[in-house]
Chains A and B, each alone.
Chain A
């Protein structure tokens, strides 16, 4: 499968715990984006990378959130001290360049109890 992959697909955690999600983009895609989607809403932008450089972060990305793309390939999104409001689907997308089509992964569904 050469599409965008995300791991895990589902995560249930207790409030206050830390969680980390991984995204593997399509090979050779320079751009990698993270979005969050809550029930009944469209996805909302969180952050994006051009290769290993994190170029933009949304105001939605509080200081409890951190994202990395250390070698310009896969990316991780960590949420520290999770809150119930963090429950959502976290989507990763990649594209070859900024103005090219973004392809989405299957998402990681997070439930914070």
Chain B
């Protein structure tokens, strides 16, 4: 079983749609969680951290369910510029290395 699992998609949605991505992680002791965004042939960039109480940044909302070891990302009113791959990430407790999911590809169409 992979440490971080995501549905690879692709998700094809029209502009303005709301889309949700899900992710599960295997290490119940994990403490730090993130969503990174990766554009085609570019490096990953931090989109947002995920906090236990849930957090929002504009159109983006991240949720964490520790009991189910489940992380989600909700994008509201999607824009063409949101088209990218979204990576669910867990940080290793000891060394700080990042453990990535496979990534979920999003394509927003006009």
Counting contact residues on chain B (CB < 8 A from A), the size range is 20 to 34
B103 touching A104, Cβ below 8 Å: no
Q: Smallest Cβ distance from A108 to chain B, in angstroms?
A: 11
Q: Is A74 an interface residue (CB 8 A)?
A: no
Give the residues in chain B near A104, CB-CB below 8 Å: 43-45
Taken residue by residue from 10 to 54, chain A's Cβ proximity to chain B (1 for < 8 Å, 0 otherwise) reads as 000000000000000000000101010000111111001000000
Give the residues in chain B near A95, CB-CB below 8 Å: 96
B44 touching A99, Cβ below 8 Å: no
Count of A interface residues, CB-CB < 8 Å: 25
Partner among B43, B45, B87, B101 whose Cβ is within 8 Å of the Cβ of A107: B43
Q: Is A91 an interface residue (CB 8 A)?
A: yes
Q: Which residues, 47 to 102 on A, are CB-close (under 8 Å) to B?
A: 48, 55-56, 91, 93, 95, 97-99, 101-102
A48 touching B96, Cβ below 8 Å: yes
Give the residues in chain A near B46, CB-CB below 8 Å: 101-102
